[in-house]
Structure 1
Amino acid sequence: MYPLFETLCVQDGVIKNSSFHEARFKQAFYKFYGYVPNFNLLDAIEVPKPFNTGIVKLRIDYNQEQTAPKFTFYTPKIINTLKLVYDNHIDYDLKFTHRAPLTQLWQKRGNCDDVLICKNGLITDTYFANILFTKNAKWYTPKTFLLNGTCRQRLLQNKLVESMDISVHNLKKFEGFQLINAMLDFDPLKIIPIGQIKTN
């Protein structure tokens, strides 16, 4: 019924970075349905009073006619280890509600917290997020992402990170990494050691 969705962060009753989500919604809608939507993602959506304090996750499922918003209090997932997995055919260029191919890869994580997906020898994303790598106090993100996340777009636009091809073989050249998405904003002081990516 709702093939696509957006996830937004609400902080103390304020929806964050809404312009980036509206832009991605319009792009995804056009690519999926073939025409420009006649409504906005956040039309008629108000933050309910019980969710006006703290960090809240707003998920909006949508189709060509309507949206279905859902508010939940957010508890961040603790992700410190990644298992490198391989899939040369994985495709997730739109934020689909159907995530079975990604879930199948995530189930290969073993004792790790999440998976880092490699496609055709190049690093893409994790199951939950885009990824940043750091070296010499600079931050980089793979050009070969699966989903062009809104946080990723904002960081690139503000020139806080650079995009580059990152292969499995040059992972060890970096000092560490962090994950980013709508709910996990960039923190230049948060560095998970690169050795926490398990390659076997």
Structure 2
Amino acid sequence: MANIVLFHHAQGLTDGLKRMAAAFERAGHTVFAPDLYEGKTFPTVDDGVAFAESTGFDVINARADAALAAAPHSTAPHPRVYMGFSMGAESAARHAQADPQTAGLILMHAAIDPAWMPSPWPAGLPIQVHACDQDPWMEFDALAALRTETEKSRPVEVYLYPGETHLFTDDSVPEYNAVYAQLARTRLLKFLEEVS
């Protein structure tokens, strides 16, 4: 059993992400998914990014920090796994790096260059990445840097799916791909079992 901390993507904490969280809970895990947009969701990635930029990433990061500080998962005994979707990947990686109880990091539709982080990347941290291989929002240079950083301790698990689709695991957005989402879910559940 893992305690999953899920950071939503630019379109907000959508119904699709809530259903995914519920599926993880049915599998025996706990999920804490802070709503950094305070209830707002957006129909497109562009709309969500515009809202995030107008709100300010410093404000969004501060909301994430405050939510985690008050969260019930903070004293739970089970291994903690941080999971970030697209825009949420940065928050997931930042908290995973800072939290000594971190058991794993999952990056959905995103990658993080360890050089972006405020302190050295933790060696041996289990990491799984899911994205389409031609996703225009995906930072493939960051993925290459992450692979280089982790190859000598515990190589990052990378799953690339054919196509340009971005948020293919969220069943509430038009980009949803049921086949890819099911395959990703199987791989995610296996990862969670391994790290917990």
TM-score by length of 1: 0.28
1 or 2, which has the higher helix percentage?
Answer: 2
TM-score by length of 2: 0.29
Hey, which of these two has a bigger chunk of strand by percent?
Answer: 1
Larger radius of gyration, structure 1 or 2? 1
